[in-house]
Amino acid sequence: MSNLGFGARIRGMKRLKQSYILSCGLLALILNLFIELMSRRSLTGLLTFIVTRPHIFLYGAGIIFLTMMPALLFRRRVFVLFLVSLVWAAAGITDFVLLTFRTTPFTAVDLKLVKYALNMLDKYISWYQIILALAAVSLAVAGGAWIFIKAPRYEGRIQYVKIVLMICVFSLAAYGATSLGMETGIFAKNFGNLADAYHEYGFVYCFGSSLLNTGITKPEDYAPEVIVRIESEDIEKEDIGSDSSQTVQENVEGTAVSTEESQEISGTVRKDTDFPNVIMIQLESFFDPQTVEGLVYSKDPIPNFHQLQEKYSSGYMLVPSVGAGTANTEFEVLTGMNLDFFGPGEYPYKTVLKETTCESISYIMKKLDFTAHAIHNNDGTFYDRHIVFSQLGFDTFTPIEYMNRYETNPVGWAKDKVLQTYITEALNATEGQDFIYTITVQDHGAYPQTEVIQDPEIIVEGCDTEAEHFQMEYFVNQLYETDQFIGELIHELSTWPEDVVVVMYGDHLPPMGFEEDEIDTGSLFQTPYVVWSNFDMERKELNLEAYQMTAYVLERLNIHLGTMPRLHQKYMNMDAAERDEEAYLENMRLLEYDLLYGDKTADEKKLESTDLQMGLDEIKILDVGIEYGNLYVRGNYFTPSSRVFIDDSEQETVYVSPYLLVVHNTELIPGESFCLDVRQVGADKIELGRTLTWEE
C-alpha cells in the first residue's frame, strides 16, 4: 500500500507539472509580453527587445512564474492565480499611464507617493478618464468575485512540504540567475538612467530592483579610519567653536587655530557680517524652450533669465531625472550627495531622511549663524517635506498652507509671483544673514492638450500635432510668467540694503516627450542655472553635476565647510589631468554611506533635527465672538488653509481675510464654555500646525 501510495503521489506531482505548472509558464510569458508592450509603448519596441535580449525577456517571465507558485498552497488556486496575474497586469498598465505624463517608469517608490498622486489626479486626467478607471477597477473586482465563486477548488491533498521545497528550488534558481547576471554584467547593479535601464533590462528586473534595493550598500572597504583618511585629503577643515563669536579651523592633527590665524592660512573664513544672504530657487520644469529644434516662438519665453545668463555666472547642471523627480534634484543640491549610489528610482525623502538627519547647506550655513528658511508654493506635505526639512536643518518652512494672496494657473498650480513676497519677508525676518531655499511650482504638468489660454502672450509654431501645440503653448506661457517673477525679484533685490546672492536652476525638463536629438544641448538631463549677486562677483561659465552645485556656490563665497562640499571643491579645483574620477566617486560613496547609514565618523557634532517652524509668522487668535448665530474668529496671519476646530471637531470654515475666519450657523451659545483653536490643514487633510487653544 505504501508503494502504491507513493506512486500515486508521484503521478499526482507529474499531473501537477503537466497542468498547473505548464499553464503558469504560458501565462507568465503572456503577462511579460503585455508588461513589456506597455513599457515600450509599441509593438516594434517589444519585438526588438525579445529578439535582441531574449534571455532578459525569459528571465522576466521566470520571475513572474515564480510569483505564481505560492498559489499551489491554496485550494482556490485559480482565484489566487487570478490575483497574482491581476497585480502584474496592473503594474504594466500603471507603467504605461505614468509614462504618458513623465519619462520615469513605474518604480516601487511610487507606491509611497500614492497619496500625493491622488491629490493631483484632477490635474493630470479628466473626469471621464477617472470614471473609466473606476469602471475598470469595478470590473476587476467583479471578475475576481465571479472567479472566487465559480472557479473549481482543488479537492486533493495539498502536499505542502513538496510544494514549499519546489518554491525554494525555483527561488534559489532565480537568485542564482540574478546574482550571475549582475556579476557578469548582464544586469546592472545601479541605474544611471532609469528609463534606459527599463528598456535595457526589462520591467520585471528593474521594478524588482527598486523594490528590494534601497539605500546605499555598505562599501567593502568602509571603516572609520578610511573616512578620516578621505577627510584629511580634502580642503582643510573648518568648524564653528562652542563660542559662536569665534571661528576656528582644525588642522589635520585636530589643533584649533584662531580666526585671524585661519584667515592667514587659507583665506577661507570671513567675518560673519561679510557673508551675503544666499537664496536658492529651484525652478519647476524650467529650461530654455528655444533649444528645442523646429519650434518657433512669437517672442523669447524667458528674456530675463537670458539676460542674467549673459551677465552673470551660468552654465548647465546635470540633474538625476527627466520629467519628474523634483525632490531628487533638490536632495542632490541641498546635500551634495550623488543619487547614483541609492536604489533604483529611490527618493531619500521617502526613505532614510524620514528617520535621520543629513548634512546639508542649511546646516553648513547655520554654522555661520545664518537662519535657514524653505519656501514652496505647493503642499507642505508633498514628498514629506514637513518632516524632511527638519532633518535637513531648516528653521522655518512656508508652504502654500501658510500663504495668502496667491493666484492659480488654468491647471490649478499656484503662480510663482507670490514667492517674491515671502522671499523678501524671510530676508526681513531676521537681523542676521539668511539662507532661503525656494521651490516653484507654476510650470508643473500636466500640460493640457486642448486650448485653455484664449489670448496667449506667446504663440508657438512648428508642433507636429494640435495636441502638442496646445501643450507647448500652455507650457511656454507659464514659463514666461515664471521668468517675469525672476525679473521682478532680481529688480527688487538689486537695491536691497544687504548683499544677496541668488542661485536659480531648473529641477528637470518637463515631461513633453522630447528626444535627445531634438534638444540643442544633446542631453535631456541638463538644465540651465545662473548665479546672480547685487555686488561684484567674477563671471564664470561652468557645467556642473547637481550634487556639485552647493560646493560651487560655497566656493564662490570663499566658504569651505561641510564634508561633501569639501570633497567636491577639492575635485573641481584640480586640473583636468590630475582628476581621478573613479577615486572621486568611490570617496563620495564612502562618505555618503558614513553620513547616512554608517558610524557618522564625518559628522563630528552628530547633527540634530531642527524644531521646524511652519510659516514665518505665528498664527494667533486675538478674539472670538458669536453674533446672529455665526462664530467670528479674529486674529493674525490666517490663510485659506486655516480651519476652526471646536472641542477638537473641525468646523466648516470660511476664510474672509488674514484677520478673520467665520463659522456660519454655529450651535454655540454666547456664554457657553468651549475650547477653540485654528489649525493649518492641507488638501490631504494633514495638520501642519495649530494655534494656542482659546477657551471660553
Would you list the DSSP string of 296-364? EESS-S-HHHHHHHHHSEEEEEE-S-SSS-HHHHHHHHHH---GGGS-TT--GGGTGGGTS----HHHH
Return the SS3 of 191: coil
Checking if the pLDDT of 267 tops 80, the result is no
With 60 as the cut, is the pLDDT of residue 242 above it?
no
Can you say how many angstroms the Cα of residue 194 is from the centroid of all Cα atoms in its chain?
14
pLDDT digits (tens, 9 = 90+) for 85-94: 999 999 999 8
pLDDT of residue 639: 96
Q: Reduce the DSSP state of residue 5 to 3 states and report it.
A: helix
Say whether the peptide bond before residue 177 is cis (omega within 30 degrees of 0): no
- pLDDT at position 144 is 78
Instruction: Choose among 28, 546, 537: nearest CA to 333.
Output: 546
Q: What is the pLDDT of residue 148?
A: 80
Q: Where are the alpha helices (H) located in 418-522, listed in sequence order?
A: 418-429, 466-493
Residue type, 78: V
Q: Are 304 and 417 in contact (CB under 8 A)?
A: no
What confidence category does residue 234 fall into, taking pLDDT thresholds of 50, 70 and 90?
low
The pLDDT of residue 116:
59
Our CA dihedral for 254, 258, 260, 261, rounded to 10 degrees, sits at -40
How many CA atoms, within 13 angstroms, populate the side-chain half-sphere of residue 465? 7
Kindly indicate the confidence band of residue 622, based on its pLDDT and cuts at 50, 70 and 90.
very high
Section 376-403 average pLDDT = 96
191 vs 489 pLDDT, higher one: 489
Q: Note the pLDDT of residue 484.
A: 98
Q: How far apart are CA 634 and CA 149, in angstroms?
A: 60
Q: pTM of the full predicted structure?
A: 0.82
Average pLDDT over residues 603-628: 90
Q: ∠643-644-645 over CA atoms, to 5°?
A: 115
What pLDDT digit, counting tens, does each position of 434-455 carry?
999 999 999 998 899 899 998 9
- Amino acid at the residue 17: K
- Separation CA 376–CA 282 (nearest Å): 10
Top mean pLDDT of 139-153, 184-198, 254-268 is at 139-153
Asked if 284 contacts 419 with a C-beta cutoff of 8 angstroms, the reply is no
Dihedral angle sign, alpha carbons of residues 661, 667, 672, 675:
negative
In this structure, the number of other CB atoms found within 10 A of the CB of residue 678 comes to 25
∠ CA 563-569-574, rounded to 5°: 135
User: What's the Rg (C-alpha) of the chain?
Assistant: 29
For residues 256 and 183, which has the higher predicted lDDT (pLDDT)? 183
Give the DSSP H/E element, type plus range, for residue 500.
strand 500-506
* CA gap 576, 586 in Å, rounded: 18
Q: How much is the mean pLDDT over the chain?
A: 86
